[in-house]
Amino acid sequence: MPELPEVETVVRGLRAPLVGRTITAASYDYPGGLVRPDGPIFTGRIAGQPIRAVNRRGKYVVITLDPDTLIIHLKMTGRLYVAPDDDVRYADRWVHFTFQLDNAHQLRFSDARKFGRVYLIDDPAEVLGALGPEPLDDALTFDAFCACLARRSRALKPLLLNQAVLAGIGNIYADEALFLARLHPLRRASTLSPDELAALYGAIRQVLADGIRREGASVNWYRKPDGTKGSAQTGLNVYGRAGEPCLRCGTPITRIVVGQRGTHLCPACQTL
C-alpha cells in the first residue's frame, strides 16, 4: 500500500495539471469504491467544481474543490494520473473513476484490486479527523512525539502502523525506521529510554524524508503520476530483504509476522 512518501509524490505530480482546472463531469463503473455520497448524487454534485488545491493528509490524497473536497485513498493498487481524453495508457484497463477536466484531459483512478476509496464531502474532518499528527510536520517536535507514545504498552511495529498515532507510516517505512533506530519491532513503547525515543524520532523522519526524495518505493503496484517508478526501493535496508545480509553487520535479515503484517529486521542489530 502506498505510504506517506508515495502519496506525497503522487500529490506533487498532480498539482500542476490539476490546480486551476474545473471538473466538468465524472463517471465510474465500481460503486463499491465510492464511500459517499451515493452515485447519482456524486456525479451531479461534483460537476462544475473548480480545483483549488491538491494536498496530502496521512495516506489520503486531498483535492480541495469549491465547495466540496474530493478525498481518495489509493489502498493497495490505486494509481492516479492525468491524461489527454484520447490518450490510452496501460493502467487504463483498471480505471474505475474518471474525472473529466475542462481542458480535454482526465484525472483517472486506476485500481486493479478495487480496494481504493473515494469520498466527496463538505467537511474533510469526517474522513481525516481521527488521523494522528504528520511525522514530518514541524509541529511534531520531539516532545510532542514522546507524548504520542507515552504510556502506550503496545509493541512498536503495530503502534507505528496505527494511523491515529502517526499518520502516513506503513509497513515499509516502519521496518526501515525501526532498523535505523536499532529497535526490535516487538519492543513495548513504554520501555523505551529517552535516548531510544530520540533515535526512533529521528529515524522516522529520516526514512520518510529519504522516501520522498527518492519519489517513493515501487516494490509492487505503486507508480508516479507519469507512470514511472520511484527509486526508494533501491535504498531499503531490511524491507523485502529476508535472507540477505544486513548492510550494517552481515547477519541475515529475518522476516517475522507482527500483528498479521510481514516484518523485516536484523536479529543482531535489533535485539529484543
Q: Give the domain-ending residue among 96, 128, 160.
A: 128
**What span, in angstroms and rounded, lies between the C-alpha atoms of 121 and 19?**
19
- Choosing from 21, 213, 248, 261, the catalytic residue is 261
Taking the C-alpha atoms of residue 137 and residue 155, their distance in angstroms, rounded to an integer, is 24
Residues 58, 152 share a domain: no
199 in any annotated domain: yes
Q: Total structural domains in the chain? A: 2
What CATH number corresponds to the domain at position 210?
Answer: 1.10.8.50
**Alpha-carbon separation of residue 20 from 42, 49, 123 (angstroms):** 21, 10, 21
Residue 271 lies in a domain: no
197, 91: one domain: no
Q: What is the mean pLDDT of residues 147-153?
A: 88
Domain harbouring 54, CATH code? 3.20.190.10
What whole-number distance in Å separates Cα of residue 2 and Cα of residue 171? 10
> What confidence score (pLDDT) does residue 94 get?
98
Does residue 135 carry a catalytic annotation?
no
Catalytic residue among 3, 6, 8, 215: 3
Please check the confidence at residue 157 and state whether its pLDDT lies above 90: yes
| All cell numbers assigned to 4 | 506517506
Among the three residues 70, 103, 128, which one is the final residue of a domain in this structure?
128
Q: Which of 60, 94, 128 is the last residue of a domain?
A: 128
Residue 234 structural domain: 142-265
The string of pLDDT tens digits covering residues 88-106 is 999 999 999 999 999 999 9
- Please check whether residues 147 and 253 belong to one and the same domain: yes
Selecting among 5, 8, 17, 59, the annotated active-site residue is: 59
Asked whether residue 219 is domain-assigned, the answer is: yes
> Residues 78, 164: one domain?
no
pLDDT of res. 259: 87
Confidence of residue 39 (pLDDT cuts 50, 70, 90): confident
- Active-site annotation holds for 3: yes
Same domain as 194, residue 122: no
Catalytic residue among 2, 5, 133, 158: 2
pLDDT surpassing 90 at residue 150: no
Beta strands in 102-227 (DSSP E): 105-111, 117-121
Give pTM, 2 decimals: 0.96
Question: What per-residue confidence (pLDDT) applies to 271?
Answer: 96
Cross-sheet strand order for the sheet of 22-28: 49-50, 22-28, 95-101, 105-111, 78-84
Residues 122 and 164 in one domain: no
Cβ pair 23, 65 in contact under 8 A? yes
CB 80 within 8 A of CB 109: yes
**3-state secondary structure string, 40-80?**
HHHHHHHCCEECCEEEEECCEEEEECCCCEEEEECCCCEEE
Q: What is the pLDDT of residue 93?
A: 97
Instruction: Specify whether 160 is located in the same domain as 189.
Output: yes
Q: Is residue 272 part of a domain?
A: no
